[in-house]
């Protein structure tokens, strides 16, 4: 059994509670010390993912436990205003609304929207609550905005979706790492410790339209920045496959023995001559050639080579095909399924991985089972004690669910748990209109997010350090979240909320409220599924064992490294899938001549609902900005610091101009952490990927206007 010294996860012997960060999928380990929210302090703890480091969000995470913005009483809307109410009154309103609406319009008239920040226990219970208590098919979650394209590509090519199919520490010894649309210097700063070796060896390579802090690190070490035009990643991938083959870097033996479909993909890649790729992407042929050579060299000298994708490459209407094309590059080079090399995706949210395994996705049952698979339905229905025929079928994906609200055939009641779609959804103005058209919007949160602010009922729930549970991090490793504090009086666990509501609407199924009991049920429900947790127990986690799923009675030690013997496809071979480059769904033209792309800054998390309440973070990054090349700014009469409107076919966003010589002149960048006039998602559009239903957050056509 791995000991603490090896990076296990046992409670600290020191005073204090050993837990993990409130925010992202790296799930840095920390110790919380203190007896009340007022005096709780955070200190980093050594753990493989963070090696004793934290980012500024992690360091300041306890601030949110004592924010004056904390909700401590239910709110209900009376005469247009949100006013305090008792839990009994608030839950009665919700239960009444559900029963009345379902009686009149059927089960699917009530919808649920979840989040990748929920613990495994809550994600599981939310899926069960929707299918068994509400009997609705209308459930999806914000992970659809996040990892869905990479997940779809992973399933397509490897037969399984686990973000990193190897421990993150494996990357630490690699001499070549190609990062695709990932900016971990801001989005997961402690992750950089795993890239030091590659950076020092001149083998860190970053494909990003911007010279990010991550790309700067690559260049400083003698590595590469592939500064492509947004949405041209698939062309880059196919061009690199082309070069891998024509320059003699392809691993013929691996392709022959461990993959299928190369002959279907090659005719497409053959068309992507490097010069053509340079014209489409803007990346010089010499840079592409150097990148492929660096990966092959590191592989051949057994110094480790990895290709890692993140949202820049994935959040496109062709994101699944784009990731598929980069997996083809990895397969052509023989990287996946071998020790010391690989392909992975950097999962984003705190429980981004676990959140997409246990059934809050429209087409899914626990254990990453498919809801339209009769055997999966029978297994899960038996655990739940219901008739498989009573389980609903697949529902709508996130944007489709939200955009149908209040329409004929769409839901009229929505319950939101762990998301702030008024700020974070694509084409957010249109989504906000649909939310306003609901008969009843119920938001569970611990702060008054922009979505909670327009709700009819707001339920104050527990946050991070006030609850027990588990999360599954970006490596598929299950972790314990531990309670350090008692929640303020008036707040309740979501497990209590679902149990209470199920009873109020007349559902006889038991919804346990003890997370440990819920986890035991999750283990049984996931047993035999792709994400099998059956041998994971809280006792084993508390003893410091490092358990990566699948972890079953056949594999009680868990599976840190997947695919070493075979891929998870029926024939055990990884698949080359024939895909081509299509480019962004919205073309730029004379009225909207620039491509806007969006993303993150270090200090703020997601919709900003949490981090905008932390004084140190808003002091460091308080203002919405748009990053622009100086020539582009000047062409519309804008200078650094001026206020500008960024305008798309759907709306406008007000932002301070941040002039940056390293920007491409044809691209502007906006963070999406603010609402109101400063909401980046007023610009974006919801062209959806045909497979994953991921919207195109990373490219839309805009123009800049000076604000008088
Ligand atoms: N500080 C902070 N950290 C976070 C989060 C946060 O909100 N704030 N959120 C967490 C979550 S949920 C996620 S999903 C991760 C996301 O982590 P990342 O994927 O690293 O974050 P993003 O900023 O969305 O996108 C990364 C980069 O993609 C680039 N990009 C834009 N368009 C394109 C394109 O067309 N092609 C390519 N190749 N690159 C492009 C952007 O310039 C940006 O630098 O971060 C996690 N960590
Ligand atoms: N333009 C643009 N838009 C994007 C992206 C982008 O790159 N560009 N990225 C997308 C991505 S990758 C993501 S992941 C989404 C994220 O965007 P959102 O889904 O809006 O995520 P958060 O801001 O994390 O919202 C979480 C809300 O839930 C609350 N919360 C946290 N934990 C819990 C809990 O346990 N229970 C309950 N009930 N509430 C909780 C928080 O207080 C907060 O109000 O944004 C997407 N939107
Ligand atoms: S990198 Fe992510 S998990 Fe680590 S401290 Fe920062 S926000 Fe928390
Ligand atoms: Mo995300």
Does residue 138 form part of some domain? yes
What is the position in ligand 2's atom list of the atom closest to the CA of 446?
42
Query: Cα(589) to centroid of ligand 1, in Å?
Result: 26
Dihedral Cα 229, 403, 427, 399, nearest 10 deg: -40
Helix (H), strand (E) at residue 121 = helix 120-128
pLDDT digits (tens, 9 = 90+) for 51-102: 999 999 999 999 999 999 999 999 999 999 999 999 999 999 999 999 999 9
* Å from CA of 84 to ligand 4 middle: 32
How is residue 405 written in tokens? 């609200």
**Model pLDDT for residues 546-561, shown as the tens digit of each residue:** 999 999 999 999 999 9
pLDDT class for 15, splitting at 50, 70, 90? confident
To test ligand 2's pocket by mutation, which of 418, 651, 696 has the most ligand atoms within 8 angstroms of CB? 418
Residue 471 lies inside a defined structural domain of this protein: no
Ligand 1, closest atom to CA 226? 38
4 part of a folded domain: no
- Could you tell me if residue 486 is inside a domain? no
Please tell me whether residues 424 and 358 are part of one structural domain. Answer: yes
Handedness of CA 625, 627, 628, 630 (dihedral sign): positive
* Mean pLDDT value across residues 116-142: 98
Q: Which of 215, 319, 599, 618 to mutate to test the pocket of ligand 1 (most atoms within 8 A of CB)?
A: 599
- Ligand 2 neighbours by CB, cut-off 6 Å: 115-118, 142, 145-146, 311, 315, 348-349, 417-420, 423-424, 444-447, 449, 461, 494, 598-599, 606-607, 609-610, 672, 680-681, 684, 697
**For ligand 1, what atom is nearest to the CA of residue 606?**
7
Cβ contact 30:22 at 8 Å: no
Alpha-carbon span 103 to 123, nearest angstrom = 27
Q: What ligand 1 atom has the least distance to the C-alpha of 116? A: 12
Task: Identify the DSSP state of 358.
Answer: S
Whether ligand 3 lies within 6 angstroms of the CB of 617 is answered as no
Report whether pLDDT(4) > 60.
no
List pLDDT tens digits, range 124-133: 999 999 999 9
Is residue 341 domain-shared with residue 355, that is, in the same domain?
no
Per the structure, the complete domain to which residue 641 belongs is given by 594-706
Same domain, 102 and 177: no
**Degrees (nearest 5) of the Cα angle 515, 518, 520?**
115
Average pLDDT, rounded, for the chain: 96
> What's the gap in Å between 430 CA and the centre of ligand 1?
24
Clarify whether residues 373 and 503 are in a common domain: yes
Predicted local distance difference test score (pLDDT) of residue 14? 56
Coil, helix or strand at residue 597: strand
For the beta carbon of residue 12, count every other beta carbon within 10 angstroms.
Answer: 17
| Tokens of residue 315, six digits | 């959040």
Q: Which two tokens stand for residue 217?
A: 């690190």
> Cα(316)–Cα(314) distance, rounded to whole angstroms?
6
pLDDT, tens digit, 9 for 90 and up, residues 592-634: 999 999 999 999 999 999 999 999 999 999 999 999 999 999 9
C-alpha–C-alpha distance, residues 170 and 339, integer Å:
9
Mutate to test the pocket of ligand 3, among 56, 116, 189 (most ligand atoms within 8 A of CB): 189
Same domain, 331 and 251: yes
The Cα 198–Cα 307 span in angstroms is 12
For residue 1, pLDDT beyond 90:
no
Task: Quote the ligand 4 centre to 649 CA distance (angstroms).
Answer: 25
Question: Which band of pLDDT confidence, cut at 50, 70 and 90, is reported for residue 707?
Answer: very high
Question: Residue 556's beta-bridge partner residues?
Answer: none
Q: How much is the pTM? A: 0.97
Local structure of 578: helix, strand or coil: coil
Q: How many domains does the chain have?
A: 4
Distance 19 CA to ligand 3 centre (A): 12
653 CA from centroid of ligand 1 (Å): 19
- Judge if 200 and 326 occupy the same domain: yes
Kindly state the average pLDDT of the residues 288-306: 97
Q: By three-state DSSP, how is residue 230 classified?
A: coil
517-544 burial, b if ≥16 CB within 10 A, otherwise e? ebbebbbbbbbebbbbbbbbbbebbebb
For residues 39 and 138, membership in a common domain is answered with no
Residue 708: pLDDT band with limits 50, 70, 90: confident
Q: What's the average model confidence in pLDDT over 370-378?
A: 98
CA of 267 to the centre of ligand 2 (A): 41
The CATH number of whichever domain residue 319 belongs to comes to 3.40.228.10
Q: How far, in Å, CA of 458 to CA of 71, rounded?
A: 9
Radius of gyration of the chain (CA): 24
pLDDT of residue 149: 98
| pLDDT exceeds 80 at position 36 | yes
Distance CA 360, CA 498 (A): 14
Q: What percent of the chain has pLDDT over 70?
A: 98
Are 325 and 194 contained in the same domain?
yes
Closest CA to 415 of 19, 205, 102: 102
Output the CA 418–ligand 2 centroid distance in Å: 7
Instruction: Provide the phi-psi class of 636: left if phi over 0, else alpha when psi is between -120 and 50, else beta.
Output: alpha
413 with 436, same domain: the answer is yes
Cα gap 377→509, rounded to integer Å: 17
pLDDT level of residue 349 (50, 70, 90 thresholds): very high
Helix, strand, or coil (residue 426) = coil
Buried b vs exposed e over 71-103: b needs ≥16 C-beta within 10 Å?
bebbbbbeeeebeebebeebbebbbebbeebbe
Which atom of ligand 1 is closest in space to residue 214's alpha carbon? 44
By percentage, how much of the chain surpasses pLDDT 90?
Answer: 97
CA-to-CA separations, 132 to 325, 341, 374, 423, 511, in angstroms, rounded:
39, 43, 17, 30, 10
Average pLDDT over residues 190-211: 98
Q: Are residues 326 and 224 in the same domain?
A: yes
The distance from CA 122 to its chain's CA centroid, rounded to whole angstroms, is: 17
For 218-241, what is the mean pLDDT?
98
Residue with the larger pLDDT of the pair 107 and 10: 107
Mean pLDDT value of segment 249-259: 98
What would the mean pLDDT of 411-430 be, rounded to a whole number?
98
Q: Is the distance from CB of 502 to CB of 133 less than 8 angstroms?
A: yes
Query: Which ligand lies nearest the alpha carbon of 237?
Result: 1
Give me the pLDDT at residue 8, please.
55
DSSP string, 152-221: HHHHHHHS---S-SS-GGGGGG-SEEEEES--HHHH-GGGGGGGHHHHHTT-EEEE-SS--HHHHHHHHT
**CATH number, domain at 49?**
2.20.25.90
For residue 234, pLDDT beyond 90: yes
Return all residues near 700 (Cβ < 8 A) that are at least 6 apart: 584, 586, 595, 596, 648, 649, 650, 683, 684, 685
- The Å distance, Cα 187 to ligand 4 centre, comes to 10
The domain boundary residue, chosen from 329, 346, 363: 346
Query: Ligand 1, atom 10: nearest CA belongs to which residue?
Result: 348
Q: Is 574 a domain residue?
A: no
> How far is the centre of ligand 2, averaged over its atoms, from the C-alpha of 145 (Å)?
9
Average pLDDT over residues 222-227: 98
Dihedral sign from CA coordinates of 62, 355, 446, 311: positive
Query: pLDDT tens-digit profile of 447-480?
Result: 999 999 999 999 999 999 999 999 999 999 999 9
Among protein residues, the one whose CA lies closest to atom 14 of ligand 1: 348
**Is the beta carbon of 663 within 6 A of some atom in ligand 1?**
no
- Residue 7: which pLDDT band, with cuts at 50, 70 and 90? very low
- Residues 312 and 263 reside in one and the same domain: yes
Asked whether 660 lines ligand 1 (CB < 6 A), one says no
* Residue whose CA lies nearest to ligand 1 atom number 11: 348
pLDDT for the residue 9: 72
Is residue 297 included in any domain, yes or no?
yes
Please report which helix (H) or strand (E) contains residue 635, including its range. Answer: helix 630-635
Residue that is written with structure tokens 């009873």 in the block: 503
Domain identity same for 206 and 293: yes
Which residue among 598, 600, 621, 667 is best mutated to probe the pocket of ligand 1, counting the most ligand atoms within 8 A of its Cβ? 600
Asked whether 111 and 360 are in contact (CB, 8 A), the reply is no
Q: Quick one: pLDDT at residue 6?
A: 36
Summarised one tens digit per residue, pLDDT across range 145-189 is 999 999 999 999 999 999 999 999 999 999 999 999 999 999 999
Confirm whether 464 is domain-assigned. no
């Amino acid at each position: 059994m791995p000991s603490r010294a090896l990076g296990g996860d046992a409670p600290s012997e020191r005073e204090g509670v050993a837990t993990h960060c409130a925010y992202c999928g790296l799930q840095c380990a920390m110790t919380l010390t203190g007896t009340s929210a007022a005096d709780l302090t955070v200190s980093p703890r050594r753990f493989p993912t963070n090696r004793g480091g934290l980012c500024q969000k992690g360091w300041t995470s306890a601030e949110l436990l004592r924010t004056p913005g904390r909700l401590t009483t239910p709110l209900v809307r009376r005469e247009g205003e949100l006013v305090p109410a008792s839990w009994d009154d608030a839950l009665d309103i919700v239960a009444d609304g559900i029963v009345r609406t379902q009686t009149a319009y059927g089960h699917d008239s009530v919808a649920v929207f979840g989040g990748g920040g929920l613990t495994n226990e809550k994600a599981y219970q939310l899926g069960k609550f929707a299918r068994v208590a509400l009997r609705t098919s209308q459930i999806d979650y914000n992970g659809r905005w996040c990892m869905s394209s990479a997940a779809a590509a992973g399933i397509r090519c490897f037969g399984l979706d686990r973000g990193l199919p190897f421990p993150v520490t494996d990357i630490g010894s690699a001499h070549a790492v190609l990062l695709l649309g990932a900016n971990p210097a801001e989005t997961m700063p402690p992750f950089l410790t795993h890239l030091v070796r590659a950076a020092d060896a001149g083998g860190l390579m970053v494909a990003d339209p911007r010279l990010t802090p991550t790309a700067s690190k690559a260049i400083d070490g003698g590595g590469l920045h592939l500064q492509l035009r947004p949405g041209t990643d698939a062309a880059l991938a196919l061009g690199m496959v082309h070069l891998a083959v024509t320059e003699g870097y392809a691993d013929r033996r691996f392709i022959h023995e461990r993959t299928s479909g190369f002959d279907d993909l090659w005719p497409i890649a053959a068309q992507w001559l490097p010069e053509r790729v340079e014209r489409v992407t803007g990346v010089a042929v010499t840079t592409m050639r150097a990148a492929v050579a660096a990966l092959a060299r590191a592989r051949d000298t057994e110094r480790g080579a990895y290709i890692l994708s993140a949202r820049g490459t994935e959040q496109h209407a062709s994101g699944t095909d784009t990731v598929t094309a980069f997996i083809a590059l990895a397969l052509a080079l023989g990287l996946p399924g071998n020790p010391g090399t690989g392909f992975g995706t950097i999962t984003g949210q705190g429980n981004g991985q676990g959140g997409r395994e246990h059934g809050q996705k429209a087409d899914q049952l626990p254990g990453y089972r498919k809801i339209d698979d009769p055997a999966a339905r029978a297994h899960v229905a038996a655990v739940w004690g219901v008739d498989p025929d009573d389980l609903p079928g697949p529902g709508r994906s996130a944007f489709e669910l939200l955009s149908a609200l209040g329409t004929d055939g769409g839901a009229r009641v929505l319950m939101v748990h762990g998301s702030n779609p008024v700020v974070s959804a694509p084409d957010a103005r249109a989504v906000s209109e649909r939310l306003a058209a609901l008969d009843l919007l119920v938001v569970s949160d611990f702060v008054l997010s922009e979505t909670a602010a327009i709700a009819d009922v707001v339920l104050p729930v527990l946050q991070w350090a006030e609850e027990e549970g588990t999360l599954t991090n970006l490596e598929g490793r299950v972790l314990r979240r531990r309670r350090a504090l008692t929640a303020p009086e008036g707040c309740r666990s979501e497990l209590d909320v679902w149990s209470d509501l199920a009873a109020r609407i007349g559902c006889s199924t038991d919804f346990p409220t003890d997370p440990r009991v819920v986890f035991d049920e999750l283990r049984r429900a996931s047993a035999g599924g792709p994400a099998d947790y059956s041998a994971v127990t809280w006792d084993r986690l508390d003893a410091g064992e490092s358990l990566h799923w699948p972890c079953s009675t056949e594999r009680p030690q868990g599976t840190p490294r997947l695919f070493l013997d075979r891929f998870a496809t029926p024939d055990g071979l990884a698949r080359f899938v024939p895909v081509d480059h299509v480019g962004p769904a919205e073309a730029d033209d004379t009225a909207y001549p620039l491509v806007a792309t969006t993303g993150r800054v270090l200090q703020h998390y997601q919709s900003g609902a949490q981090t905008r309440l932390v004084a140190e973070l808003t002091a460091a990054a308080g203002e919405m900005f748009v990053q622009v090349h100086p020539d582009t700014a000047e062409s519309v009469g804008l200078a650094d610091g001026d206020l500008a409107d960024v305008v798309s076919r759907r709306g406008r966003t007000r932002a301070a101009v941040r002039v940056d010589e390293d920007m491409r002149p044809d691209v502007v960048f906006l963070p999406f952490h603010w609402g109101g006039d400063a909401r980046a998602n007023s610009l974006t559009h919801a062209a959806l990927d045909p497979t994953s239903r991921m919207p195109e957050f990373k490219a839309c056509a805009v123009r800049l206007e000076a604000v008088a």
